[in-house]
Structure 1
Amino acid sequence: MSGFIDMDRLVYGPWPALERAVARFAEHYGFDDVRHVGGSGDRGADVVASRKGKLYVFQAKHLKSGQIGPGAIDEVVRALAAYKADIGVVVTNQSFTKTAQQRRDELKQHGIRIALWGYNRMLRNFDEKLEVVSAARHQLRPYQEEAVDCVEAKRGSGADRALVLMATGLGKSLVAGELVANELARNPTGEVLVLAHTTPLMYQLERSLWPCLPKHVPTHIWGDSEKPAYVGGVTVGMWQTLIGAIKRENLAGRFSLVIVDEAHRAPAPQYRSLVENLLPNFLVGMTATPWRGDKLPLDEPFGKPTYVMDLVEGMQQGYLADVEYRMKSDDVDWEEIAQLSKAGYSKKQLNKKLFLPDRDEAIVRSVIADLEAIESPRTIGFCRSIKHAEAMHRLFAAYGLPSVVIHGKLPKEERDHVLVRFRSGDAATILAVEMLNEGIDIPDANVILFLRVTHSRRIFVQQLGRGLRVTPEKQSVTVLDYVADLDRLLDAERLNSQARTGAEDPETIRYRDGRIVTFEDEGAESFAQSYLADIASIDPVDGDDGTGLRFPIRPE
Structure 2
Amino acid sequence: MEREDEVEDRKELYRYQKEDIDAIFEKFEGKPDNFHLLYQLPTGGGKTVIFSEIARRYIEKYQRKVLVLTHRIELSKQTSKMLKSFGVKNTVIDSSLKDLPYDNDFSCYVAMVETLNNRLKDKKFHMDYVGLVIVDEAHYNSFRKLFTYFKNSIFLGVTATPLSSNVELPMYETYSELIVGEPIQSLINKNYLAKAEMFGYDVELTSLKLGINGDYTVGSSDELYSRSAMQDLLLHSYEARAKGKKTLIFNNGIVTSVYVYETFKAAGLPIKHLDNKTPDIERKKILTWFKKTPDAILTSVSILTTGFDEPTVEAIILNRATRSLTLYYQMIGRGSRKLPEKDIFTVIDLGNNAQRFGLWSDPIDWQYIFRHPEQFLENIRTDAEIESYHVYEMTDEVRAKFNKSADVLFNVEEEYKLAMDQQLRPKVVIEKSIRQHAVMCIENTESIAEARKLSRVLDPDIEYRVKQFTKFLAKTTKNYKEWLIEDYKNKLTVLIGSLFIKYQVFDDEEDEEDPVELKEL
Partner of 2:491: none
What is the SS of the residue equivalent to 1:306? strand
Partner of 1:205: 79
The superposition leaves residues 225-261 of structure 1 with CA deviations (integer Å, 9 ceiling, x where unpaired) of: 3357654132110111111111213524222221111
Would you say 1:361 and 2:232 are equivalent positions? yes
Partner of 1:275: 147
Partner of 2:193: 320
Would you say 1:150 and 2:23 are equivalent positions? yes
Deviates most, 274-283 or 170-179: 274-283
Tell me by how many angstroms 1:361 deviates. Answer: 2.6
Partner of 1:166: 41
Contact 1:222 1:228 in 2 (8 A): no
Contact 1:257 1:280 in 2 (8 A): no
Tell me by how many angstroms 1:523 deviates. Answer: 6.2
Partner of 1:123: none
Tell me by how many angstroms 1:156 deviates. Answer: 2.2
- Write the distance in 1 (CA, Å) between the matches of 2:241 and 2:248: 14
- Write the distance in 2 (CA, Å) between the matches of 1:276 and 1:525: 53
Would you say 1:306 and 2:172 are equivalent positions? no
- Write the distance in 1 (CA, Å) between the matches of 2:152 and 2:195: 40
Distance verdict in 2 for CA 1:494–1:412, change over 3 Å: closer
What is the SS of the residue equivalent to 2:109? strand
Distance verdict in 2 for CA 1:164–1:498, change over 3 Å: closer
What are the equivalent positions in structure 2 for 1:517-556 lying under 5 Å apart? 524=390
- Write the distance in 1 (CA, Å) between the matches of 2:350 and 2:116: 41
Distance verdict in 2 for CA 1:481–1:233, change over 3 Å: same
Contact 2:237 2:348 in 1 (8 A): no
Would you say 1:407 and 2:275 are equivalent positions? yes
The code of the aligned residue for 1:358 comes to S
TM score, norm. by length of structure 1: 0.56
Tell me by how many angstroms 1:489 deviates. Answer: 2.3
Distance verdict in 2 for CA 1:394–1:449, change over 3 Å: same
- Write the distance in 2 (CA, Å) between the matches of 1:227 and 1:479: 45
What are the equivalent positions in structure 2 for 1:350-499 lying under 5 Å apart? 357-359=227-229, 360-372=231-243, 377-425=245-293, 428-483=296-351, 485=352, 488-492=354-358
Would you say 1:180 and 2:55 are equivalent positions? yes
Contact 1:222 1:237 in 2 (8 A): yes
Contact 1:221 1:227 in 2 (8 A): no
Contact 1:192 1:235 in 2 (8 A): yes
Would you say 1:234 and 2:108 are equivalent positions? yes
Tell me by how many angstroms 1:171 deviates. Answer: 1.1
- Write the distance in 2 (CA, Å) between the matches of 1:272 and 1:199: 18
- Write the distance in 2 (CA, Å) between the matches of 1:154 and 1:33: 29
The code of the aligned residue for 1:480 comes to I
- Write the distance in 1 (CA, Å) between the matches of 2:3 and 2:332: 25
Tell me by how many angstroms 1:328 deviates. Answer: 2.1
Distance verdict in 2 for CA 1:498–1:194, change over 3 Å: closer
Tell me by how many angstroms 1:431 deviates. Answer: 0.8
**Which of the residues 297, 304, 309 maps onto 2:170?**
297
Distance verdict in 2 for CA 1:228–1:260, change over 3 Å: farther
What are the equivalent positions in structure 2 for 1:37-48 lying under 5 Å apart? none
Distance verdict in 2 for CA 1:482–1:288, change over 3 Å: same
- Write the distance in 1 (CA, Å) between the matches of 2:147 and 2:348: 40
Contact 2:43 2:160 in 1 (8 A): yes
Tell me by how many angstroms 1:157 deviates. Answer: 3.4
Partner of 2:120: 246
Contact 2:183 2:363 in 1 (8 A): no
Distance verdict in 2 for CA 1:489–1:307, change over 3 Å: closer
What is the SS of the residue equivalent to 1:305? strand
Distance verdict in 2 for CA 1:227–1:447, change over 3 Å: farther
Tell me by how many angstroms 1:206 deviates. Answer: 1.8
- Write the distance in 2 (CA, Å) between the matches of 1:143 and 1:525: 43
The superposition leaves residues 25-77 of structure 1 with CA deviations (integer Å, 9 ceiling, x where unpaired) of: xxxxxxx9999xxxxxxxxxxxxx9xxxxxxxxxxxxxxxxxxxxxxxxxxxx
**Which of the residues 288, 312, 315 maps onto 2:160?**
288
What is the SS of the residue equivalent to 1:236? strand
Contact 2:196 2:360 in 1 (8 A): no
The code of the aligned residue for 2:228 comes to D
Which runs of 5 or more structure 2 residues have no equivalent in the other structure?
A: 207-214, 366-386, 394-521
Distance verdict in 2 for CA 1:280–1:423, change over 3 Å: farther
Contact 2:68 2:136 in 1 (8 A): yes
What is the SS of the residue equivalent to 2:290? helix
- Write the distance in 2 (CA, Å) between the matches of 1:264 and 1:278: 19
Partner of 1:517: none
Distance verdict in 2 for CA 1:195–1:316, change over 3 Å: same
Tell me by how many angstroms 1:138 deviates. Answer: 4.1
Root-mean-square deviation (CA), in Å? Answer: 3.7
What is the SS of the residue equivalent to 2:181? strand
Distance verdict in 2 for CA 1:308–1:407, change over 3 Å: same
Tell me by how many angstroms 1:436 deviates. Answer: 0.7
Would you say 1:194 and 2:68 are equivalent positions? yes
Distance verdict in 2 for CA 1:426–1:316, change over 3 Å: closer
Would you say 1:139 and 2:12 are equivalent positions? yes
Partner of 2:96: 225
- Write the distance in 2 (CA, Å) between the matches of 1:327 and 1:312: 20
- Write the distance in 2 (CA, Å) between the matches of 1:255 and 1:208: 20
- Write the distance in 2 (CA, Å) between the matches of 1:187 and 1:468: 36
Contact 2:90 2:110 in 1 (8 A): yes
- Write the distance in 2 (CA, Å) between the matches of 1:367 and 1:135: 37
Contact 1:195 1:260 in 2 (8 A): yes
Contact 1:161 1:303 in 2 (8 A): yes
The code of the aligned residue for 1:492 comes to G
- Write the distance in 2 (CA, Å) between the matches of 1:145 and 1:260: 19
Tell me by how many angstroms 1:175 deviates. Answer: 0.8
The superposition leaves residues 92-119 of structure 1 with CA deviations (integer Å, 9 ceiling, x where unpaired) of: xxxxxxxxxxxxxxxxxxxxxxxxxxxx
Contact 1:200 1:439 in 2 (8 A): yes
What is the SS of the residue equivalent to 1:319? coil
Contact 1:193 1:259 in 2 (8 A): yes
Q: Pick the structure with more helix per residue.
A: 2
What is the SS of the residue equivalent to 2:240? helix
